[in-house]
Amino acid sequence: MKLSTKHLLGIKDLTKEDIQLILSTAINFKEVLQRPVKKVPSLRDVTIVNLFYENSTRTRISFELAEKRLSADTINFTVSGSSAAKGETLLDTVNNILSMKVDMVVMRHNASGAPHFLAKHIPAAIVNAGDGINEHPTQALLDAYSMQEKFGNIEGLKVAIIGDILHSRVALSNIYLLQKMGAEVIVCGPPTLIPTYITEALGVKVEYNIKKALQWCDVANVLRIQLERQNQPLFSSLREYNLAFGINKKLLDSLHKEIVIMHPGPINRGVELDSDVADGPYSIILNQVENGVAVRMAVLYLLANREQ
Ligand code: CP
């Protein structure tokens, strides 16, 4: 089976079958990662550039590890120390890198739509590693993989996405994916952090009461408050945000039910999640990070092997 797309620009462009193919391929790669020798020759002779115009810990390391586990050659680009800092355009930078016989581009950029722009101008396959406030497709895929691993199936699951929905590419990619896979999804957070697009165009329900949202869901996917993307205050203070929407052990204990806590990272400890929850028995946050490598191996493998 092959993916229906040449690039992975967003979950919006994928079919349900594409998502199922990536998740089932990732199961095989997760098995590879449990072996003493965690490496396969699948992408030998393929060269991949990791082009990061925005900070990252998990995604950048996860892609690089995935590439190395597939035996690809990898090169890493960050803005600091590059000629982008001297004003070189994105397209010039990428065309120069591709002229050195690079086959695929993994790209994070602070501008929404940057990978879509690039896809119109270069021949290489592009994987979006997060573009502005638009999409973070591999995060949604690894989140889906982690839910499927925990529950056996995504269809019918009740998922609450909680926090800064307005600035979150993780929220949008998760909503697209969960709706395509037949899960029920709601969002929860302050009204100023929930865009009307989510409710009006995508038909996602909103719950403003954190306890009711947690009572309803099987999975709480908790998002970081992205202060760096806020030009003006959208709620009174982090302390008040924590009082209204923060999740702590006392709140979870009051529910008298099992729940799965997810977070894409990085966590603002003491704001959206207290440490007794982030590090507690309901948290699968580090499983998500572990699964990210297998999921990204699957994405790179399928894109590299797709018939052109
Ligand atoms: N989840 C995520 O994208 O984390 P990084 O910003 O560290 O890559």
SS3 for 52? strand
Distance in Å, CA 58 to ligand 1 centroid: 5
Ligand 1 atom with the smallest distance to the CA of 264 is 1
Answer yes or no: is the C-beta of 173 below 6 A from any ligand 1 atom. no
pLDDT score of 226: 80
Ligand 1 atom with the smallest distance to the CA of 108 is 8
Ligand 1 atom with the smallest distance to the CA of 129 is 3
Q: Whose CA is nearest to atom 4 of ligand 1?
A: 58
Integer angstrom CA distances of residue 239 from 23, 45, 64, 244, 268: 38, 52, 37, 9, 12
Distance in Å, CA 62 to ligand 1 centroid: 9
Q: What CA dihedral angle connects 179, 300, 102 and 11, to 10 degrees?
A: 0
Answer yes or no: is the C-beta of 137 below 6 A from any ligand 1 atom. no
Answer yes or no: is the C-beta of 59 below 6 A from any ligand 1 atom. yes
Integer angstrom CA distances of residue 157 from 160, 184, 206: 10, 6, 17
User: Which tens digits make up the pLDDT trace of 19-28?
Assistant: 999 999 999 9
Answer yes or no: is the C-beta of 265 below 6 A from any ligand 1 atom. yes
Long-range own/partner contacts, residues 2-6 (CB < 8 A, 24 or more apart): 2/302, 2/305, 2/306, 2/307, 3/302, 3/303, 3/306, 6/119, 6/125, 6/303, 6/306, 6/308
Architecture of the domain spanning 11-136+291-303: 3-Layer(aba) Sandwich (3.40)
pLDDT in tens, the chain (308 residues): 899 999 999 999 999 999 999 999 999 999 999 999 999 999 999 999 999 999 999 999 999 999 999 999 999 999 988 999 899 999 999 999 999 999 999 999 999 999 999 999 999 999 999 999 999 999 999 999 999 999 999 999 999 999 999 999 999 999 999 999 999 999 999 999 999 999 999 999 999 999 999 999 999 999 998 877 676 677 778 999 999 999 999 999 999 999 999 999 999 999 999 999 999 999 999 999 999 999 999 999 999 986 54
Contact of 212 with 151, CB cutoff 8 Å: no
**Chain length of the chain:** 308
101: left (phi over 0), alpha (psi -120 to 50) or beta: left
Query: Hey, do 11-136+291-303 and 137-288 end up sharing a CATH topology, with the first three levels equal?
Result: yes
Answer yes or no: is the C-beta of 61 below 6 A from any ligand 1 atom. no
Please measure the distance between the N-terminal and C-terminal CA atoms of the chain and give it in whole angstroms. Answer: 13
pLDDT score of 1: 87
**Three state DSSP letters for 93-128:** HHHHHHCCCCCEEEEEECCCCHHHHHHCCCCCEEEE
pLDDT score of 306: 64
Answer yes or no: is the C-beta of 228 below 6 A from any ligand 1 atom. no
pLDDT score of 236: 77
pTM above 0.85, yes or no: yes
What CATH topology corresponds to 137-288? Rossmann fold (3.40.50)
Q: To test the ligand 1 pocket, which listed residue (56, 78, 168, 262) has its Cβ within 8 A of the most ligand atoms?
A: 56
What residues does each domain of the chain span? 11-136+291-303, 137-288
Answer yes or no: is the C-beta of 226 below 6 A from any ligand 1 atom. no
Distance in Å, CA 244 to ligand 1 centroid: 25
Integer angstrom CA distances of residue 252 from 91, 271, 295: 48, 16, 30
